A and B are shown apart, each in its own frame.
Chain A
C-alpha cells in the first residue's frame, strides 16, 4: 500500500480562534481533505448561524424553528452551542441594514462573544463601504476576544485588516470564486498581516447552483497549498453554506428539502477543502457531523 501513498510538501498553519478557555484550532493539515491514510487532515468545524437582529430574510421554516430565541442574539447563540452542539457561532450583522450606530452593533457583538463558550465569527454585509465603517468598530470594542472577522475584500482590506491586527482578531478574505484573486488578496494582506490569521472565503454556492465552480476553485486553492507548497494559499477555507442553501427554490418550498440541500452542499464543500462550514439548521449539522466523524 505504501507505494501508492503521497507525502506533501505543503501544510496549513494552525490557527487558534477564540479567547483563553474557549479556543478552537483551525488548519494544521499536511494532506488533502479526509486523506487519513496519507497524513493528518484537519477536523472540520461546524458553525451555526445567528443574526444580530430579527432574521426577516431567513426561510419561514427557520424563523419558526428559532421562534423562541430569534429576538435575542445572546439566547440564540447560547442555545446553538449548548443544545445544538455548534463548534462555533457565525453571527450575521443583519442590523447593519438598519441605521443602528456602529457602536451599538459592536456592543451587541461583544455581548454574544462573552456569553458563549466557543469562538465567534462575525460577518458584515459584504458591502465595502458599510463593512469598512462598522467592522473596525466591532474589532476595537471586542479587542482581545480573538474573533474571526469578515468579509475582507480587495477593495477594503486595508482598514478592516488593520483594525483586526490592532485588536488581535483573525480575518476572512473573500474573493469571487477565483484562485488567482484569492492568491492576490493573500499576497497583499501578507505584507502587513500575519498569514496564520487569514481564512479564505471563496464565495461558495449551493448544490445545483454552480457547485462545480465552487468545488473546482477550492480544489485548486488547496492543491496549490498542499501539493505545490504555494505559501500564499496555505489558509483554511470557510464555506458559508446556510445563506446559499436556504435561498434556493427547493429550500423555500419544503423545510426537509432545505435541510437536505444544506447538508449535501456542506458535505460536498468539506470534501473540496472547507475547514469551516456555516449552517442554519442543527438537523443538517448533525447529519453531516455523523457522516464526517
Chain B
C-alpha cells in the first residue's frame, strides 16, 4: 500500500495554496498522485496553529471533491485532526499518534471516537527508541493502551520511525528487524513508514534510489505500507513488481550474498551498491555510487 506524500506543508506551493485557500493546485496534486497509482493521499498541514479546524476542513473538502482515494490526515494538532476526521467520506488514517502521554490523551481517543485507522509511532516520552527491542517494548505498551480504548490491531498502523542513512545508518537494520517482529508481537497489526526520511540530508539527485531500495527491503521484511513520493515512477514500478531482476539483487544482498558486478548493467550496479549501504555492508558516504 502506497500513501502519496506530495501534499506537504513544507513545499512552498502547497503552503501558499493552503494559506491562500487556492484549491486548484492542491486538487491537481491530488489527482496527479491518484493517476500515478498510489492508494492513499496524505494531507500534511503540520502543526496548523492558525485556525486549525477551518484549514483542515477546507482541505479535506476540496480534495474529496476531485479524488476518491482514502485520506491520511497528517497533523500534530488534535483539533485540526478531529475537524478532518468528522468529514472524511472514506475511513481515514490518523497520521499520527505515538506512545507519549500527550498523544494517548489527545490523539488516540479520536481513532475510537471516529472509528478511524491510526498510525502509532514507536516514539514515546523518552524519545526515539534506539534499537529493535526498545521499539518493540515501546509499541507493545502503546498497543495495549490502544486496545484498552477499544482500538483493534487491524486499525493500528505501526511506524518504526526511520532515521536518515547519514545520521543512523546502523539504525536501519534495527528498523528492518523490528518490522519482521511485528506479526509475532502484535498479530493482525498493520505498519507504515515515512520512507523519504532514510535519504534526508543526502544530495537531491541521489535520494530516490535510497528510498526505492529501502522500500523493497522493508516490503520483503513484511511492511504493510509506506508514505512515498508519488512521482517517483521507478518506485511505483518496483512496487508493482515490474522490476523482478532488481528486487532479486536486493534480496540477495539482504541474505548476505556478495555479488560480482562484472555482468551487471549500470542500473543493477547502482541498486547493488545502494542495497549494500542500506544493509550496512558498506559505510555510507554521499559518494557511495562512485567507488
Are A230 and B283 CB-contacts (below 8 A) given A180-B166, A180-B169?
A: yes
Q: Is the CB of B291 within 8 A of A232?
A: yes
For the complex formed, measure the closest distance between the CB of B273 and the CB atoms of chain A, giving whole angstroms: 13
Q: Does A63 contact B (CB under 8 A)?
A: no
Q: Mark B263-291, 1 if CB is under 8 A from A, else 0.
A: 00000000000000000001111110011
B283 surroundings in chain A (CB, below 8 A): 179-180, 183, 220, 224, 228, 230, 233
Which residues of A in the span 161-193 have a Cβ within 8 Å of any Cβ on B? 179-181, 183-184, 187-188
Are A187 and B291 CB-contacts (below 8 A) given A179-B283, A180-B284, A233-B283?
A: yes
The binding surface of chain B is classed by DSSP as loop
B169 surroundings in chain A (CB, below 8 A): 180
For the complex formed, measure the closest distance between the CB of B146 and the CB atoms of chain A, giving whole angstroms: 36
How long is the Cα–Cα vector from A4 to B271 in the complex, in angstroms? 37
How long is the Cα–Cα vector from A180 to B169 in the complex, in angstroms? 9
**Chain B residue at minimal CB-CB distance from A178:** B166
B286 surroundings in chain A (CB, below 8 A): 180, 184
How long is the Cα–Cα vector from A97 to B290 in the complex, in angstroms? 38
Q: Is the CB of A184 within 8 A of B282?
A: no
A179 surroundings in chain B (CB, below 8 A): 283
The binding surface of chain A is classed by DSSP as helix
On chain A, the number of residues with a Cβ less than 8 Å from chain B's Cβ atoms is 13
B284 surroundings in chain A (CB, below 8 A): 180, 183
Which residues of B in the span 141-200 have a Cβ within 8 Å of any Cβ on A? 166, 169
How long is the Cα–Cα vector from A228 to B283 in the complex, in angstroms? 9
On chain B, the number of residues with a Cβ less than 8 Å from chain A's Cβ atoms is 10
**Chain A residue at minimal CB-CB distance from B290:** A187
Q: Mark A174-214, 1 if CB is under 8 A from B, else 0.
A: 00000111011001100000000000000000000000000
For the complex formed, measure the closest distance between the CB of B221 and the CB atoms of chain A, giving whole angstroms: 23
Q: Mark B198-209, 1 if CB is under 8 A from A, else 0.
A: 000000000000
For the complex formed, measure the closest distance between the CB of A176 and the CB atoms of chain B, giving whole angstroms: 13
Q: Is the CB of B282 within 8 A of A230?
A: yes
A233 surroundings in chain B (CB, below 8 A): 283
How long is the Cα–Cα vector from A181 to B201 in the complex, in angstroms? 12
A232 surroundings in chain B (CB, below 8 A): 285, 291
B291 surroundings in chain A (CB, below 8 A): 187, 232
How long is the Cα–Cα vector from A188 to B285 in the complex, in angstroms? 11
How long is the Cα–Cα vector from A188 to B169 in the complex, in angstroms? 21
For the complex formed, measure the closest distance between the CB of A71 and the CB atoms of chain B, giving whole angstroms: 44
For the complex formed, measure the closest distance between the CB of A182 and the CB atoms of chain B, giving whole angstroms: 8
**Chain B residue at minimal CB-CB distance from A185:** B285
Q: Is the CB of A188 within 8 A of B287?
A: yes
For the complex formed, measure the closest distance between the CB of A231 and the CB atoms of chain B, giving whole angstroms: 8
Query: Considering residues A180, A220, A232, which has the most beta carbons from chain B within 10 angstroms of its beta carbon?
Result: A180
How long is the Cα–Cα vector from A224 to B166 in the complex, in angstroms? 16
Q: Mark A27-61, 1 if CB is under 8 A from B, else 0.
A: 00000000000000000000000000000000000
A224 surroundings in chain B (CB, below 8 A): 283
For the complex formed, measure the closest distance between the CB of A228 and the CB atoms of chain B, giving whole angstroms: 8
Query: Considering residues B285, B287, B290, B291, which has the most beta carbons from chain A within 10 angstroms of its beta carbon?
Result: B285
**Chain B residue at minimal CB-CB distance from A224:** B283
How long is the Cα–Cα vector from A194 to B187 in the complex, in angstroms? 56
**Chain B residue at minimal CB-CB distance from A191:** B290
For the complex formed, measure the closest distance between the CB of B288 and the CB atoms of chain A, giving whole angstroms: 9
**Chain A residue at minimal CB-CB distance from B283:** A224
**Chain B residue at minimal CB-CB distance from A184:** B285
For the complex formed, measure the closest distance between the CB of A274 and the CB atoms of chain B, giving whole angstroms: 19
For the complex formed, measure the closest distance between the CB of A96 and the CB atoms of chain B, giving whole angstroms: 30
How long is the Cα–Cα vector from A193 to B284 in the complex, in angstroms? 21
Query: Considering residues B166, B283, B290, which has the most beta carbons from chain A within 10 angstroms of its beta carbon?
Result: B283
| Residue among A183, A220, A228 making CB contact with B285, cutoff 8 Å | A183
How long is the Cα–Cα vector from A183 to B284 in the complex, in angstroms? 8
How long is the Cα–Cα vector from A187 to B169 in the complex, in angstroms? 19
For the complex formed, measure the closest distance between the CB of A179 and the CB atoms of chain B, giving whole angstroms: 6
A187 surroundings in chain B (CB, below 8 A): 285, 287, 290-291
How long is the Cα–Cα vector from A111 to B285 in the complex, in angstroms? 40
B290 surroundings in chain A (CB, below 8 A): 187
User: Can you name 23 A-B residue pairings with CB atoms under 8 Å?
Assistant: A179-B283, A180-B166, A180-B283, A180-B284, A180-B286, A181-B285, A183-B283, A183-B285, A183-B287, A184-B286, A187-B285, A187-B287, A187-B290, A187-B291, A188-B287, A220-B283, A224-B283, A228-B283, A230-B282, A230-B283, A232-B285, A232-B291, A233-B283
The 9 A-B residue pairs whose C-beta atoms are closest, nearest first, are: A183-B285, A184-B285, A187-B287, A180-B284, A224-B283, A180-B285, A184-B286, A180-B166, A184-B287
